[in-house]
Structure 1
Amino acid sequence: MIVRIMGEGQFDVPDSLVDRLNELDNAVLAALDSGDETEFRTSLDALLAAVRAGGKAVPADYLGPSDATLPFESATVDEVKALLHEDGLIPG
């Protein structure tokens, strides 16, 4: 799965990490639903860190599409809500 972090680039994330990313995505969604800004920030940071740690940076000249687009680290609640799909930020 190719995951783009806005402002940073794309990462090739192994299939073995997708379930964990979905768990972290669900935590972001729960924080958004509850309006808990602290939990939102913690969950978003954990999601981005998991992509960075488990994924491999895609070369800058790669022109293929991303399977998921994540917000930049300092994104606001409203900016993240604008990126949401039916199943969250991470498909599946």
Structure 2
Amino acid sequence: MEKNITLQSSSHLYLQSFQRMAGQVLRIANKPIQLLSAYYSAVLEKPISLKQTWLLLNAQAAFVMTAFPMESPFLARIACLAWFVHALLVCRRSI
């Protein structure tokens, strides 16, 4: 009877270790977004996905950039206003 053993190369083990560590870092980095998504779900009284959470954050950032920089050039303010309107329309379609 013939016995066969499969050996993994050390580079494959390093790759698996790196992928596992990257997955843990990604889970830790996504935790605040998941908590924010749960908050939005509670406020809106319906489930909100992570994509919808990112769209809401985009709309909030667009609002801040539109409303607060009072001394910015007029064209920059118009561009931020267009960004804000676009973000609102995308949020409305998504939610």
Shorter-chain TM-score range: 0.3 to 0.5
TM-score in terms of structure 1 length: 0.38
Structure showing greater Rg: 2
TM-score by length of 2: 0.37
Give the structure with the higher percent helix.
Answer: 2
Per chain length, whose mean CA-contact separation is higher, i.e. which structure has more relative contact order (CA < 8 Å, sep 6+)? Answer: 1
